[in-house]
Chains A and B, each alone.
Chain A
Amino acid sequence: MANIILQIAGGIMLLSIVLSTFRFFKAGSLVDRVVAFDVMTVASISLIALISHFAGRTIYIDVAIIYGLLSFLGVIIIARYLEKSL
């Protein structure tokens, strides 16, 4: 029962990644693309947590921690680049 609910949740997360890919291609400016990249990263962090449940190995959560740390740095650098104050 719990497994079926978690599989439905994984499908919904995958759908949200695909929808933010549409915004990446219909973007008006560079900021739109960065926002789509940010949403994709956050959705894939929760997808990684779900994958660690399906595979039954809890060491996979470490990859999610590294992802959260580094995507923050990337978005900050892009914002400083856009603001011309890097």
Chain B
Amino acid sequence: MEIIKIIGALITLLGSVFLLLGSIGLIRMPDVFTRIQTGTKASTLGTLLSLLGIGIIYFDIAGKIFLLIVFILITNPVSSHMLARAAHYIGVKKADVTVVDELEDFENEKLNNKTKISE
């Protein structure tokens, strides 16, 4: 029984290391979009792993933990997607090393098509 508890605690420790990496990336990254990316991906994985470790230690509440894991796995990427879309539309400055912006290309293409039709 002790070995299962130690395995759960080690998984929780791994998850907390991922949370720490996410917030270090939040400080070091150069612009808003990269910050959204690192702050969401790393912290989602960290939370999933640490909740999984607690679920292994207490096996009788595994149903609740599973519900929480599924909920975070669905909602956290959706909210970060909405945030990145809003940041793009209000014109937040991109970093100098940005290579590709597909949403801007798509909007420009749509605008060009519209002007062609009206001519």
Q: Inside 8 A of A69's CB, which chain B residues have their CB?
A: 71
Q: Inside 8 A of A68's CB, which chain B residues have their CB?
A: 68, 71-72, 75
Residue tally, chain A, CB below 8 Å to B:
49
Closest B residue to A69 by CB, please name it: B71
Could you tell me the distance in whole angstroms from the C-beta of B50 to the nearest C-beta in chain A? 4
Q: Inside 8 A of B93's CB, which chain A residues have their CB?
A: 28
Question: B83 to A19, Cβ gap below 8 A?
Answer: no
Residue tally, chain B, CB below 8 Å to A:
54
Work out how many contacts link A and B, with CB atoms closer than 8 A: 170
**Once bound together, how far apart are the Cα atoms of A83 and B5, in whole Å?**
47
Q: Could you list some 10 contacts between A and B, CB below 8 A? A: A9-B12, A35-B35, A35-B39, A43-B46, A46-B19, A49-B65, A72-B76, A79-B86, A83-B89, A83-B90
**Residues in chain A within 8 A of chain B (CB atoms):** 1-3, 5-6, 8-10, 12-13, 15-17, 19-20, 22-23, 28-29, 31-32, 34-36, 38-39, 42-43, 45-46, 49-50, 52-53, 58, 61-62, 64-65, 68-69, 72, 75-76, 78-80, 82-83
6 closest residue pairs by CB, A with B: A5-B9, A79-B82, A2-B5, A16-B23, A82-B86, A12-B16
